Amino acid sequence: MAAGREGSQAPLEVPATDRGRDAALVGAMLDALPSPTLLIDADGTVLVANAAWVTAAELLDDERVRVDVGGNYFEMALRLADDATNHAMITAVQELARGERGTVSMDYALPHEAGVLWFHLQACRVGTAGHVVVTHTDVTARVVAERTSAWQARHDPLTGLPNRARLHELIGAELQRADRPAVAVLFLDVDGFKDVNDSLGHEAGDELLRELARRLTDGVRASDTVGRLGGDEFVVLSRECDTDGAEILAHRCQALFEQPFSLDGRSIRLAVSIGIAGLAAGERSCSRATELVRDADLAMYAAKAAGRNRIRVFTSDLRRAAQQKVLVAAELRDAIDAGQLVLHYQPVIHLPSGEVAGAEALVRWQHPERGLLGPGAFLTVAEQYELMDPLTRWVLREATRQSAEWLRMGLPLLTGVNVSATTLASGTLVGDVGDALAASGLPPELLIVELTETTVADDAQRAAAQFAALRVTGVEVSIDDFGSGFSSLGQLVNIPAGVLKIDRSLVAGAEERSQSAAAIAAVVALGRACGMRTLAEGVETEEQLALAAELGCTFAQGFHIARPMPGADVVRWVAARRSGTSRRPGAGAVPARPVADVVRQAV
């Protein structure tokens, strides 16, 4: 940029009589331009500098950009940076002066003590003598905004780490290297992060994520890249690292969680599940970043399924299992509408009287190729692929239809239907139950809706609201698997349920472990205090049945009483039981030791 206005109008190559007038005219025209502008000849000599150029040079106060009329613009550019960019600019302007191109347009940076300034250079040829007008527009604000926007599009705003898009770019670049060395991707998922958000709030959760980002960035190698996919999921791109090295790095990442996190004045301990996917040097079995991240993700889920705070390396078996899940999900989606699902019913008896009180509906899948499948073969897939809601609606419709049919046959049985956490969270439970009852004509007092203790504890407020709405209509509500979770006494008192189903693990241990028997007795007493009846699940022996009755349980179910059976068989089973036995269940059975002694030793 120029200095001084004295003599800024240099003679142009025009007739002598018009030279002064034309020079003044050119100077006036350039002065009217708001951007710093120069008129130079083909060699870069400055012929005219406008007022904006002079002002800009004074404001910058930088000797490198001071060029007077008669000075050389090209030399000034090389003083700023003798690099390929400026050499290319000079060549382009010279070509423009010779008429070999129409214009020159480019952005360039000017490092300055106040920060990097950006200018847009625009040059065009005037006249036939090879003169060139060069304007310099300050575009710093635009460039900064564009760069900020581009950075934000590729980075996580919370942690500043590369985001999913940027990670895929970086991983893709490694996979496309001609000399492709070994590369590994670590997929990290924080165990227990949701509990932090739920208990301390999202602000504490955000601070935790920022601290995790700092720890991981400081803990990996300088050549590694840490990124955040979203939520509590992080990815580490480990360059020039084989699978063995990646496992060492994964253990180092796990060690970063050993030090507690300080959040909201509390000391929080967390763990992390890590999946690893890697390629050996030169291996081309995986050509896309999304595939490598997907494989690491599958390995992470396998690590979490193994008990959390684990590390798992991807194998082809994991991919085949994932593909099988996709296939099962697609088949199950069709099976719900194609009539392939069936319900089996496990009878429940009333212990004081020995009478059959009801039955629990258990879903089965009559697969056309694999035969009758139990719920373990498809319920997990249904949860993962958002099929629980349509599956639950089908079960409700079929169970109420069957129960209504039993009622018409003179067999009023209370029918239980299990409901998942996803159905509770969707908020459609009350409406779905109402629709099923209306379609079947079943009196609501013959339906019992069951949710596990863990499901209730995870969202006690939502569960309480929906339970209350169901009981108002006459539908009974049960808390299933009680004793397997960690629900608080306060939650239990506030849940409007009518039945507590004691988990089978307590029932199975009650014969040998006094603590289990004492726990059952405590649950029975707690249920009575809250106006609830109790049901012993998983009764498999005569001794367990007798013990459940003596401890005060109201109901019982299990293989010792009856295995699950098709709906048509329930009527025959009830008839056979009524004709073959009339005594109270467990009567005459002698426990291994007196119940009072069992409980007394525990307390």
pTM of the model: 0.61
Name beta bridge partners: 266.
263
pLDDT < 70: residue spans in the chain: 1-24, 453-454, 457-458, 483-494, 510-513, 581-603
Q: State the Cα torsion 544-548-551-555 to the nearest 10°.
A: 180
CB 382 within 8 A of CB 328: no
> What is residue 297's predicted lDDT score, i.e. its pLDDT?
95
CB 238 within 8 A of CB 182: no
Determine whether 401 is exposed, middle or buried from the number of CB atoms within 10 Å of its CB (0-12, 13-18, 19+).
middle
Taking the mean position of all CA atoms in its chain, how far away is CA 327? 23
Determine whether 151 is exposed, middle or buried from the number of CB atoms within 10 Å of its CB (0-12, 13-18, 19+).
exposed
> What is residue 6's predicted lDDT score, i.e. its pLDDT?
40
Domains of the chain and any CATH numbers? 16-143 (3.30.450.20), 156-314 (3.30.70.270), 325-581+593-602 (3.20.20.450)
Rounded CA-CA distance 24/360 in Å is 101
Burial code (b: 16+ CB inside 10 Å, e: under 16) for 446-472 equals bbbbbbbbebbbbebebbbebbebbbe
Structure confidence by residue, pLDDT tens digits, 21-56 = 666 677 788 888 899 999 999 999 999 999 999 888
Taking the mean position of all CA atoms in its chain, how far away is CA 133? 56
Beta pairing class for 225-230 and 117-126: unpaired
Q: Which contiguous run of DSSP H or E holds residue 188?
A: strand 183-191
| Three-class DSSP category at 349 | strand
Using the structure block, give the residue that is written with the tokens 């763990």. 271
CB 591 within 8 A of CB 555: no
CB 390 within 8 A of CB 336: yes
Nearest to 492 by CA among 520, 472, 464: 464
Tokens (6 digits) for 111: 């490092």
558 Cβ contact list (under 8 Å, min separation 6): 504, 507, 536, 537, 538, 539, 540, 544, 545
Using the structure block, give the residue that is written with the tokens 């098709």. 566
